Amino acid sequence: MTADRLPVEVSGGRAPLLEVSGLVLRYDTEVGEVSAVENVSFSLGRAEAMGLVGESGCGKTSVALSLLRLAPDNARYRSGSILWEGVDLLGLSDQQMRLYRWAEISMVFQGAMNAWNPVYRVGEQIREAMYQHFDPPLSKPETNQRLDDLFRLVGLDPAVQNRYPHELSGGMRQRAVIAMALSCEPKLIIADEPTTALDVIVQAQILEELKEIQEDLGLSILYISHDMAVIAQVTDTIGVMYAGKLVEFGPTREVFRRPRHPYSFLLLSSIPSVTGPRRRPVSLEGTPPNLLAPPAGCRFHPRCPWATEQCRNDEPPMMQIGPSQWAACWNAEQVPEMGDQLP
Amino acid sequence: MIRYLTRRLVQMVLLFLVFLTVTWFLLYILPGDSVALKYAGNPNIPPEAREVALERLGLDKPVLIQFRDYMFNFFQGDLGVSFNQYPRPVVDIIGERLPRTLVLFLTALVTYYWAGFVAGKFLAWRRGNRGEMAVTIGGVGLYSMFLPFFAFMLIWFFSVQLGWLPISKFLDPEQWRDAPFAANEVFMRLFWVTLLTAIAMFMASLAAHRTRGRMLERILRWGGGALVIAAFLFYWFGTEAGQGMRIYAGDIAFHMILPVLTLTLINFAGVMLLTRSSMLETLREDFILTARAKGLPEGMIRDRHAARTALLPVATSLVLAVATVIDGGVITEAVFSWPGMGEILISSVLSEDIPLAVGAFAFIGVLALIGHFVVDVLYGLLDPRIRVTEHG
Ligand SMILES: Nc1ncnc2c1ncn2[C@@H]1O[C@H](COP(=O)(O)OP(=O)(O)OP(=O)(O)O)[C@@H](O)[C@H]1O
Ligand SMILES: [Mg+2]
């Protein structure tokens, strides 16, 4: 079975909110085409939290931006579709797409420290989004009330909305960004490395609160991180990306318990685990490939300790392994056991 | 902000004192006795008359005493009397000339900053379209043009060839022969009416910028603008005071077109290129991506987010513009025989009319300092990050 339309089953038969199939996105550059997202498919149900992990530069942000159709000017969508409640976002006009942004899908950007325009007050910047998307428009008192509520929800004093961004600490800015992302009652929030720039304590608090808000409001959320440990605590399903490709997808528990792709396996074995089965730590060597000229066959083969002749020549499709787990590896069935047979 | 501005004010006053002292000594001392020679050096006048003449001009006392008296009087608003237009007080002459210079250059400054900013904004926004190259090359070409040469070219084209605009000067003497008004009176009226109109226009567009309703914004921007213009026209055509003065005020305004056009064409490209690069930089900022993600309309991203933030470095460049206006002013006024401060500066120095020259320099110094101060305040208003910090 190929990657097309695969993981509908993962969301347990519920009609998915978002269904990405065979997405291919490349960046035009002077030195050639960067293959940043290659045939990526996944789906996300209502009120579901999904994680997307992978090393820096593997295309996580590119996937996220595609969902809002905000990829940089030199990005080209070569094929695939992004179905949002059955509507293909890639087929919409700019004007139609504008109505989906923030009202349906909002985003907490990577490095949200700079997400604020320095010359306007924080509250004003949230107001302008609300002004665009509520139909019929909220009255002034309603808007104010909603702003106050949002600030309380993310653990900020409502008075903060009258401050300028530079007057807030990093943690406050990040909380305010979350308030902004929630402002237009979206169904999905994309959180791209929402906490990497913060210190560990604040990071944990914010993640926890975000998780609570998500569950209370029944939102879907797409967490993006390079940190498996972070993702583990807050997601239901997880997708692992390597060099522009989705290499494993499945329920977070399953993937953590029994990773089916060598890359996931190596990523996981590099985090110390207290509860999981004891494994010998194996290190992940080498660096990710240059996406201008990705390796033939499996993109991971140059770094894979178990690579075979087949891996070097043929590209493995996404294959169903467990009841709801998928992996793109020729040797997926043997993966965790192979870890114990390493020299 | 307040503390910062107070500090700047004190600095400005000190700087001005130094400037005035240096100017005074340079002008009074350097020519030595030549001034006395010029005004009382005629060997045919009797020595007593000579004494009297020197005393009247205040040249009989020791230099330091003269300096002390000058400074003392200066801060009481007395800048002495002109040697050449004796006994007309210097303050009078400057009072007549200063508004003419201010009006000409402020008009030019506002026009070319506005034109440059708008052009730069669209160049950056519609990056890579066909017009861009043409506008950029044209702008840079004009920018690198030698001012007097360009001014003469425009005069030749518009005044000599086409005969559309007056060649030079401030008004047409033929038309003013039996005028019931003094030129200055008309001019000041023109100045105030136009200033009020400009302020009202600015307020309307500011109010439009602040509102979020698209309809309301349009109504304010266009309706408000139209209303202000209607009021302006009504003053000149509908009221008695305005009707009487209209042709004379029109004549003065007519004479301003060419100098303003010259200054605008030469200077707007600088502002345009600066705005363009500042805007391109701003467009790469994360908050622009946020604005897009929020689903704001393109016009709002361009104006409210990108252009508004890109304005900051452009506002800083106004400081330099103040300097350009002063040195370009002397040349421009000379080329167009515009009777303003630049013209006094040249003629008083050439004719060794020392009190007038010192007075003119002093006022130009004051203007430069005020210009800087205004830019500082403006910057503080534009950038909230400056507004709250104590030290700039
Ligand atoms: N505008 C662009 N033009 C060309 N290449 C780009 C562009 N944007 C991103 N890339 C390349 O595409 C690949 C994927 O980038 P992306 O930002 O999606 O990765 P990421 O997984 O989010 O990385 P990180 O963890 O560092 O944020 C990278 O190799 C990057 O260098
Ligand atoms: Mg990223």
Helices (H), chain A: 60-68, 94-100, 122-133, 140-153, 170-182, 200-217, 228-234, 252-257, 262-269, 309-313, 335-340
Q: What is the pLDDT of residue B63?
A: 76
Please check whether residues A177 and A190 belong to one and the same domain.
no
How far is the first Cα of chain A from the last one, in angstroms, to the nearest whole number?
33
Residues of B with Cβ-Cβ distance to A128 under 8 angstroms: 212, 294, 296, 300, 304
A178 Cα: distance to centroid of ligand 2 (angstroms): 18
With a Cβ cut-off of 6 Å, ligand 1 is lined by: A 27, 29, 34, 36, 54, 56-62, 72, 74, 110, 226, 291
Torsion angle of alpha carbons B286, B288, B294, B297, nearest 10°? Answer: -170
Please check whether residues A205 and A332 belong to one and the same domain.
yes
Closest CB to B295: pick one of A109, A133, A166. A133
Would you call B68 an interface residue with chain A, using a CB distance cutoff of 8 Å?
no
Pairwise CB contact (< 8 Å): B384 & A101: no
Q: What is the pLDDT of residue B213?
A: 67
**Is residue A241, in this structure, part of any structural domain at all?**
yes
Please check whether residues A82 and A226 belong to one and the same domain.
yes
C-beta separation of A329 from A259 below 8 A: no
Please check whether residues A121 and A263 belong to one and the same domain.
no
Pairwise CB contact (< 8 Å): A100 & B287: no
Pairwise CB contact (< 8 Å): B385 & A118: yes
Q: What is the pLDDT of residue A5?
A: 43
Would you call B228 an interface residue with chain A, using a CB distance cutoff of 8 Å?
no
Pairwise CB contact (< 8 Å): A109 & B290: yes
Question: For chain A, how many structural domains are there in total?
Answer: 2
**Is residue A3, in this structure, part of any structural domain at all?**
no
C-beta separation of B180 from B256 below 8 A: no
Closest CB to A116: pick one of B287, B297, B312. B287
Pairwise CB contact (< 8 Å): A115 & B383: no
Please check whether residues A171 and A233 belong to one and the same domain.
no
Pairwise CB contact (< 8 Å): A117 & B287: yes
Please check whether residues A122 and A162 belong to one and the same domain.
yes
Domain span at residue A148?
A: 112-185
Distance CA A93, CA A133 (A): 17
Would you call B215 an interface residue with chain A, using a CB distance cutoff of 8 Å?
no
Q: What is the pLDDT of residue A310?
A: 92
Q: Which atom of ligand 1 is nearest to the CA of A54?
A: 21
Peptide linkage before B87 cis (omega within 30 of 0): yes
Which stretches of chain B drop beneath a pLDDT of 50?
390-392
At position A125, the amino acid (one-letter code) is Q
- DSSP β-ladder status, A105-108 and A188-192: parallel
Please check whether residues A59 and A123 belong to one and the same domain.
no
- Ligand 1, from A33, A40, A53, A61: best to mutate by most atoms within 8 Å of Cβ? A61
Distance CA B8, CA B3 (A): 9
Would you call B62 an interface residue with chain A, using a CB distance cutoff of 8 Å?
no
**Is residue A1, in this structure, part of any structural domain at all?**
no
Token pair recorded at residue A16: 């998915």
How confident is chain A (343 residues) per 10-residue block, as mean pLDDT? 43 72 95 93 93 93 95 92 93 92 92 85 94 87 94 93 92 92 94 82 86 92 90 92 95 91 87 58 79 92 90 93 90 75 54
Distance from CA of A188 to the nearest CA of B (A): 13
Four-residue CA torsion sign, B184, B186, B189, B190: negative
B102 Cα: distance to centroid of ligand 1 (angstroms): 53
- DSSP β-ladder status, A32-44 and A18-29: antiparallel
Distance from CA of A136 to the nearest CA of B (A): 13
Which residue matches tokens 């609300």?
A130
Please check whether residues A173 and A193 belong to one and the same domain.
no
User: What CATH number corresponds to the domain at position A72?
Assistant: 3.40.50.300
Choose one of A185, A212, A234: the last residue of a domain: A185
Choose one of A127, A152, A185: the last residue of a domain: A185
Would you call A271 an interface residue with chain B, using a CB distance cutoff of 8 Å?
no
A37 Cα: distance to centroid of ligand 1 (angstroms): 9
At position B276, the amino acid (one-letter code) is R
Please check whether residues A70 and A181 belong to one and the same domain.
no
ipTM of the complex: 0.88
Q: What is the pLDDT of residue B390?
A: 42
State the best of A94, A102, A117 to mutate against chain B, taking most chain B CBs within 10 Å. Answer: A117
Name beta bridge partners: A34: A27
Please check whether residues A283 and A145 belong to one and the same domain.
no
**Is residue A191, in this structure, part of any structural domain at all?**
yes
Distance CA B113, CA B120 (A): 10
SS3 for B165? coil
Pairwise CB contact (< 8 Å): A128 & B212: yes
B76 CB-near residues (< 8 Å, 6+ apart): none
**Is residue A218, in this structure, part of any structural domain at all?**
yes
Q: What is the pLDDT of residue B41?
A: 60
Choose one of A185, A206, A227: the last residue of a domain: A185
Please check whether residues A78 and A194 belong to one and the same domain.
yes
Q: What is the pLDDT of residue B379?
A: 84
- A41 closest CA partner among A249, A311, A294: A249
Pairwise CB contact (< 8 Å): B293 & A164: no
Token pair recorded at residue A82: 């992004």
Please check whether residues A51 and A66 belong to one and the same domain.
yes
Residues of A with Cβ-Cβ distance to B384 under 8 angstroms: 118-119, 164, 166
Residue A296 CB coordination number (10 Å): 12
Distance CA A5, CA A81 (A): 10
Domain ranges of chain B: 2-73, 90-386
Distance CA B284, CA A196 (A): 21
